[in-house]
Structure 1
Amino acid sequence: MMELWIPITIAAAFLQNLRSALQRHLRSSLGTRGASFVRFGYGFPVAVLYVAALHFVGGYFLPQMNWPFVGWAILGGLAQIYATIMLVYLFSLRNFAVGTAYSKTEPVQAALFGLVLLGERLQPGTVLAIIIGVIGVMLISVARTPLNARSLLAALFSRTALIGIASGGVFGISAVAYRSASLSLDGPNAVVQAAFTLAFVTGFQTLYMLVWMVFTDRAEIGKVIRSWRSSALVGLAGVLGSAGWFTAMTLQQVAYVRALGQIELVFTFAASVFLFKERINRLEVLGCLLILTGILGLIFV
């Protein structure tokens, strides 16, 4: 029988891809910070309603906050804000599929952070599956580069690559922090713990970014309000995806969840080709297949 965290992760990956596609669309009318803020600002009310429904309709008691929870949640929230900003900025440097691919070194980095911060270890087969997936990511990263050593090195250490890898690393820190925050709660089950963590984090992120924009770019706030129709969709997709990630990461180690989450890149390529009409070459297709191979290896290892 398939473990529950697997379908939850696949659904979260699909919703995350949908959110990224909507954010890319918003980049034409909003700045990088505005397009990043809508994920949190418009998602927060939905997260609160989700917790309220679990409590008042589902009858679950809400967990009590503690200082480890607050610390991990704030660390994860800040990391996710800056990782999101880097990812949105990437969309202006490369196409939608490749911009997302650069951030997909996250599983390896998340595995390292999980080992260092939480003492979590992986099985050899899992490590191999993750490495195969990351090789696929690297192929995508250099797919539009002339096949010679100098050009490949230049591509791998380019500004775009470094921003993408940094984005993946900061997302990895965020994921490990969220798992730690959720596990520190004494809740009735993983769903309630994840929902409570999500509501707290999105509330903090909304306040943080709102204050930031008040002091640095007030005009962007007006743009965010005027684009409420598209922005609300980003917030909805983002918070539903985050609910899936938080729940899956409460049920399973971060490295496993994020490695399976590489399936997002398959959804990304579909959006890139059919929605944004971007051309995909053979190496990018091969990279995508390797990522799928790594995902299947992760599930059946």
Structure 2
Amino acid sequence: MLWAVFTIIAAAAQTARNAMQRELTTKLGTAGATHVRFLFGFPFAVLFLIGTMVVTKLPPPSLTTPGFWPWIVLGALSQIIATALMLSVMNRRSFVAATAYIKTEPVQVAVFGLVFLHDQISAGAAVAIIVATAGVLTMSIKPAAADAVRLGSTLLGLGAGAMFALSAIGYRGAILALAYPNFVVAATFALVVSLAMQAGTLTLFLALRDPLVLRRILRLWRPSMFAGLMGALGSAFWFLAFAITAASNVRTLATIEILFAQVVSTFIFKQNVSFREMCGIVLIIVGVSMLICATA
């Protein structure tokens, strides 16, 4: 059950990062706030990798490992798109509602994992995924008011969930492709490679399209550094969890991030929670509890 511990830590770190990125979006725009997590997360990921190699006394995996690159490219590019869509939703809806839309991801991860990685899930885990996702939908879908703004937010949120699902599958595929004897080194190595690709891609994009944003990012280095640290910490634990269990298990347990997001939404952003959202939270807790029992 070590994967569950890794997932809970990752979800908590990601909630902190998302909250910081949401605030940075007003100053840097969607592309700039997206770039922050990769640019400032990369140095911390390198430090994590150096630390794991010092402790384990193992060399890094080979960059020429067959099958590694297609998976890591899929994971890295999907995550860039997913993060941009997520921040766009957060600008339109409440912090917790945006997080809820994105957490429709577990069902998509389960399907993608079965198709691409042949990850098998038990009947109990499948029911847990459905219950947790039902909780997410209960929080997200409002009966009656489905105007154009809400419909647009829903589509963006579901798109973000799909891209996060593909990134999870890509990262798990990349780690498995390394076939490295130590899963901690393999996961951290994959993290460093993905962040290097993402930071380089978005730096080039912004340098060509909006160099002013790059200068603003550097001026806001202090809050950006915190977002990068939380992003790297969260990603490191996501990768560790992906290394030892099916991505569908990880992303289903990750729905507890909505509980963390609710705390942030209530106490920091002063956004109230409705009875319907509380019912959704209960379903998520039940689904997560069922998943833990099914995989224990």
TM-score when normalising by structure 2: 0.96
What's 1:105 paired with? 104
What's 2:136 paired with? 137
What's 1:274 paired with? 267
Aligned 8 A contact 2:21 2:33 in 1: yes
What's 1:211 paired with? 204
Aligned 8 A contact 2:66 2:177 in 1: no
CA distance in 2, matches of 1:286, 1:138: 11
Within-5 A mapping of 1:153-168: 158-168=151-161
CA distance in 2, matches of 1:260, 1:213: 35
Within-5 A mapping of 1:59-78: 59-65=57-63, 66-78=65-77
Give unmatched runs, 5+ long, in structure 1: none
**CA deviation map 1:221-256 (0-9, x unaligned):** 011101000000000000010000000011000000
Aligned CA distance change for structure 1 residues 226 and 283 (closer, same or farther; 3 Å): same
TM superposition shift of 1:18 = 0.7
Give unmatched runs, 5+ long, in structure 2: none
Aligned 8 A contact 1:61 1:187 in 2: no
2:280 to 263, 278, 287: 287
Moved more, 122-131 or 79-88: 122-131
TM superposition shift of 1:85 = 0.2
C-alpha RMSD of the superposition: 1.5
1:24 to 10, 17, 22: 22
What's 1:51 paired with? 49
CA distance in 2, matches of 1:260, 1:56: 31
CA distance in 2, matches of 1:5, 1:52: 22
What's 2:39 paired with? 41
Aligned 8 A contact 1:113 1:173 in 2: yes
CA distance in 1, matches of 2:18, 2:117: 29
The list of structure 1 runs, each at least 4 consecutive aligned residues, that deviate by more than 3 angstroms after superposition, is 154-157
CA distance in 2, matches of 1:52, 1:249: 20
What's 2:83 paired with? 84
Letter in 1 for 2:139: I
Letter in 2 for 1:173: L
Aligned 8 A contact 1:194 1:247 in 2: yes
What's 1:225 paired with? 218
Aligned 8 A contact 2:106 2:165 in 1: yes
TM superposition shift of 1:157 = 8.1
CA distance in 2, matches of 1:293, 1:16: 22
What's 2:171 paired with? 178
**CA deviation map 1:109-137 (0-9, x unaligned):** 00010011112221111111111111111
Letter in 2 for 1:9: T
TM superposition shift of 1:270 = 0.4
Aligned 8 A contact 1:22 1:234 in 2: yes
What fraction of aligned residue pairs are identical, expressed as a percent? 39
**CA deviation map 1:127-165 (0-9, x unaligned):** 1111111111111112xx3x45xx46x689811111111
1:177 alignment partner, SS class: helix
Aligned 8 A contact 1:136 1:291 in 2: yes
Letter in 1 for 2:119: E
Aligned 8 A contact 2:45 2:191 in 1: yes
TM superposition shift of 1:62 = 1.4
CA distance in 1, matches of 2:149, 2:209: 33
What's 1:236 paired with? 229
Aligned 8 A contact 2:124 2:291 in 1: yes
What's 1:7 paired with? 5
TM superposition shift of 1:289 = 1.1
**1:187 partnered with 2:186:** no
Aligned 8 A contact 1:141 1:156 in 2: no
What's 1:123 paired with? 122
Task: Say how many residue pairs are matched.
Answer: 293
Letter in 2 for 1:137: V
Letter in 1 for 2:152: R
CA distance in 2, matches of 1:284, 1:70: 41
1:92 alignment partner, SS class: helix
CA distance in 2, matches of 1:61, 1:22: 35
